[in-house]
Amino acid sequence: MRAVKLAFIGGGNMARSLVGGLLANGVSPADITVAEPDASRREALRRRYEVAVTDDNAAAAGDADVVILATKPQVLEEAIAAAGHARAGTLYLSVAAGIRVDDIRRWLGGEAAIVRAMPNTPALLGCGAAALYANPAVDAGQRELAEGIMRAAGTVVWVPKEDDLDPVTALSGSGPAYFFMLIETMIRTGVELGLEPAAAALLAEETALGAARMALESEEDVTALRRRVTSPGGTTEAALEAMTAARVPEGIAAGIRAAAARSAELARQFGSDEE
């Protein structure tokens, strides 16, 4: 990624994961400023990453090439107001869940190059998955910049429509919790069947990790992988038949659909269609 001035509005978990990833990828601390209202969090950022910190959003955004909007969605409008109006040539990259581009543009007070990103919590470990949407004002160089920033925390995919970010939120944004529930259930059941809790936890967690790596690294799709490990008349087949009878797949699908609907609902709640 070429050298640019980066300003983070908000210094929470996602900002820290991106800052850490960017520094690990060779970005200079001198090119990063973080605006954060909490004094103790500012000091922690300064000590850990040696970046510039401030409580003044406008000062942070003033000469930035990219302004990363990393606040909670319910305070984003206020944070943008404090940062000042949109500036020509500046890219605004929002990782605030659910807030639509039109609302961000309106709060910025004019036309602006805006990319919305929907990351997930594994970004804190550098193995996140994020989907990005760019409005028409974003040029090719700015798309490359946005992708480079988000790749500092994991994998990136682009979506062609902003509405696609609602199913993205449901699939990967909320997705870690689905796997935590599965692992939690596997551990609990293993203990009920007689395993020591520590052994059950290690086996379930490593199995989840191994299955994910197989899915990522295999040339076969996950349906083929599932079939390959399901021997006729064996234990895996018995387990999957019981889960299917209990409508586990339908329950997971219903949860993903509910999350997508809630994502759209939150966008309406925190934003507005008014011009």
pLDDT digits (tens, 9 = 90+) for 13-71: 999 999 999 999 999 999 999 999 999 999 999 999 999 999 999 999 999 999 999 99
Domain that holds residue 147: 6-165
The predicted model scores a pTM of: 0.87
Residue 122 has pLDDT above 80, yes or no: yes
Report the C-alpha gap between 99 and 81 in whole angstroms: 15
Cα–Cα distance for residue pair 275/264, rounded to 1 Å: 19
Q: Which of 114, 136, 165 finishes a domain?
A: 165
What is the percent of the chain where pLDDT is above 70? 98
**pLDDT over 60 at 275, yes or no:** no
Q: Can you tell me the mean pLDDT for 218-225?
A: 97
Q: Give 166: exposed, middle or buried? Use CB within 10 Å, 0-12, 13-18, 19+.
A: buried
Instruction: Summarize pLDDT for 123-182 with one digit per residue, the tens.
Output: 989 899 999 999 999 999 999 999 999 999 999 999 999 999 999 999 999 999 999 999
Residue predicted with more confidence, 269 or 176: 176
Last residue of a domain, one of 165, 200, 217: 165
Please check whether residues 186 and 147 belong to one and the same domain.
Answer: no
Q: CA dist 156 to 1, 146, 149, 235, Å?
A: 15, 10, 10, 37
Whether 11 and 121 share a structural domain: yes
CB atoms inside a 10 Å sphere around CB 169: 24
pLDDT for residue 91: 98
Is 125 part of any domain? yes
> What CATH number has the domain bearing residue 251?
1.10.3730.10
Radius of gyration of the chain from its Cα atoms, rounded to whole angstroms: 21
On whether both 98 and 193 belong to a single domain, the answer is no
Residue 251 CB neighbours (<10 A):
11
Residue 274 clears pLDDT 60, i.e. is over it: no
Residues 19 and 142 occupy one common structural domain: yes
Per-residue pLDDT of 191-211, as tens digits, reads 999 999 999 999 999 999 999
On whether both 26 and 118 belong to a single domain, the answer is yes
Q: Look at residue 211 and tell me if it is in a domain.
A: yes
pLDDT confidence of 272, banded at 50, 70, 90?
A: low
In whole angstroms, what is the distance from residue 269 CA to residue 275 CA?
16
Would you state the pLDDT for residue 1?
65
Which among 90, 9, 93, 94 has a CA at the least distance from the CA of 57?
9
